[in-house]
Amino acid sequence: MLFRLAFALVLTTALLVCPIDAVSQDMLRDVDLNSPDMSTAEMTRAEVETLLKAAPRDAAGQSSADLQERRLSRLDLSGLDFSGGNLRLVKLNRASLKGARFDRAVLNQAWLIDADLTGASLVKASLLGTQMQRARLGGTDLSGARITADLSGASLVGARLAGADLSADMRNQSMGLMRGVLKSADLRGADLAGANLARADLGFAQLQQANLANCDMSRADLSGADLSSTNLAGADLTEADLASALLPGAAMLEKARNLDKARNLNLARHLPE
């Protein structure tokens, strides 16, 4: 318990003094993901199931289950329903969460590095400062979720992020630039229609055949991203960084908004006509 309290204090202090991107990188540099605290579980699947079943649910079926700060790494928790639960600071590194439900759950500052969330549901979940590097989220539903998580290197092939908010939180600059980080993430075929990606980091992301229709991508980092077959109809590219990005043909680009206001458009690569 004392270790967890000390770790939470260190994490909170780091977030207060460092930009969120730097915090994510520094945390991973200093944390041993193979240590018992980060790689073992203090509960069994059966115990987790018992806790979930015992938690009261409201009229909408939302749970009040409290798993805050629990160590659940490497467990097979596939198919369980955590909807509405409190999972702040929970450790689920390399856990199997296939088909699990986290709708409206709070996963702020949770650890899900290398976790498998294939086909899971996180509709309107809260993922603030969550560590999800290299997580597998193929076919996962993140519609309407609030995401300032680090999803660098994650796989979101065919994922649903329609209406999700990955934008920077400009109201709390004391915590640095908190935003969705999708560096080198695989978003091929993902549905991000209407998502808020303002200032989000999508550097070198794979966005082939993704749906970015009507997204707010103002000031987003799209440097090196592959947008070669991406639906950009109605997407706002105001001050988006397009350096070295691979852009679709003229017919699709014409459907985007404010392309003329994007940054480094002259450094972008274009598909041949």
**DSSP string spanning 59-75?**
TT--B--B-TT-BBTT-
Reported pTM: 0.87
Q: Supply the pLDDT for residue 12.
A: 42
Q: Which of 94-108, 119-133, 163-177 has the lowest mean pLDDT?
A: 163-177
- Backbone CA torsion sign across 170, 173, 176, 178: negative
Beta strand 246-247 pairing with 126-131: unpaired
Cα 91 to Cα 74: distance, rounded to the nearest angstrom: 9
When the pLDDT of each residue in the chain is averaged and rounded to a whole number, the result is: 89
| Block residue for tokens 């003229």 | 250
3-class SS at 81? strand
pLDDT at 19: 45
Q: What's the pLDDT band for 256 if we cut at 50, 70, 90?
A: very high
26 versus 189: the higher-pLDDT residue is 189
Distance CA 39, CA 43 (A): 13
DSSP-derived 3-state class of residue 21? helix
What distances in angstroms separate CA 208 from CA 124, 131, 190, 202, 204, one per listed residue? 25, 25, 9, 13, 12
Query: Is residue 99 exposed (0-12), middle (13-18) or buried (19+ Cβ within 10 Å)?
Result: middle
Q: 94 pLDDT band (50/70/90 cuts)?
A: very high
Question: 175-179, 194-198, 250-254 — which one is most confidently predicted on average?
Answer: 194-198
Q: Is 50 helix (H, G, I), strand (E, B) or coil?
A: helix
- Residue 242: which of 255, 216, 215, 260 has the closest Cα? 260
Residue-level pLDDT at 245: 98
CB 64 within 8 A of CB 43: no
